[in-house]
């Protein structure tokens, strides 16, 4: 992109900067964060980075916060806004469909690889995982699971749903919604 075009869009808000950076980093699948490579892949200037972020650490922590707010908390809040009498299996299906339709799991590998670069990110990602765990634990408990079986099913469900798109396998053939329903059936079967 020409410098002139970059300057035209360098007025990104901080939120737009984070959104575009997250998408770019997930698409390029870099194992290490490199500001120059990120800037080259985005329609922004390096100066716009420093308009929004003090340094690399500030940016990476903001990126984790953005990921949490837009791709975890928003889904949890949507689940909490369902009518109280919603069947727990239906809540689980709503979660699975949200993750699948919006491809929310496309950022999981990136977030976890970033924890290797900046130790402060470990705590932030751990907090996101804990919130996801609590939400799923509540749903699985409402399905009747208890004790170690409850814990195991929640952890398996989290692993399957969050990492499935990171497997280097072609997606299963057939009706996508039916595939999601089969996963939920399998993971919730007594």
Question: Each residue of 168-178: pLDDT tens digit?
Answer: 567 677 777 78
User: Can you give the pLDDT at residue 141?
Assistant: 97
Which element (helix H / strand E) includes 107? none
With 90 as the cut, is the pLDDT of residue 35 above it? Answer: no
CA distance to 17, 25, 34, 140, 141, per residue, from 133 (Å) = 29, 26, 31, 10, 12
pLDDT of amino acid 93: 92
> Which CATH architecture best describes the domain 55-188?
Orthogonal Bundle (1.10)
Domain positions in the chain: 1-53, 55-188
Rounded CA separation 91/89 (Å):
5
Decide if 122 contacts 115 (C-beta within 8 A): yes
- Whether the predicted pLDDT of 78 surpasses 60: yes
Distance from C-alpha of 110 to C-alpha of 97, rounded to nearest angstrom: 21
The angle subtended at Cα 108 by Cα 105 and Cα 111, nearest 5°, is 150
27 CB neighbour count, 10 Å cutoff: 11
pTM of the model: 0.84
Confidence (pLDDT) at 177: 79
pLDDT tens string 88-119: 999 999 998 888 888 888 888 888 888 888 88
Residue length of the chain: 190
- What integer best gives the mean pLDDT of the chain? 85
Q: Quick one: tokens of 5?
A: 């075009």
């Amino acid at each position: 992109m020409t410098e002139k075009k970059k300057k035209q869009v360098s007025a990104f808000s901080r939120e737009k900067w984070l959104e575009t950076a997250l998408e770019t980093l997930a698409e390029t699948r870099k194992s290490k964060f490199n500001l120059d490579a990120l800037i080259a892949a985005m329609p922004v200037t390096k100066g716009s980075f420093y308009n929004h972020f003090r340094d690399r650490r500030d940016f990476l922590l903001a990126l984790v916060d953005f990921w949490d707010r837009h791709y975890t908390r928003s889904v949890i809040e949507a689940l909490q806004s369902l009518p109280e009498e919603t069947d727990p299996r239906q809540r689980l299906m709503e979660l699975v469909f949200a993750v699948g339709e919006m491809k929310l799991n496309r950022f999981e590998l990136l977030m976890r690889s970033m924890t290797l670069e900046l130790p402060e990110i470990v705590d932030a990602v751990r907090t996101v995982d804990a919130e996801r765990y609590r939400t799923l634990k509540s749903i699985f408990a409402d399905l009747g699971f208890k004790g170690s079986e409850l814990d195991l099913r929640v952890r398996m469900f989290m692993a399957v749903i969050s990492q499935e798109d990171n497997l280097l396998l072609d997606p299963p053939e057939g009706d996508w919604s039916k595939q999601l329903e089969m996963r939920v059936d399998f993971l919730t079967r007594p």
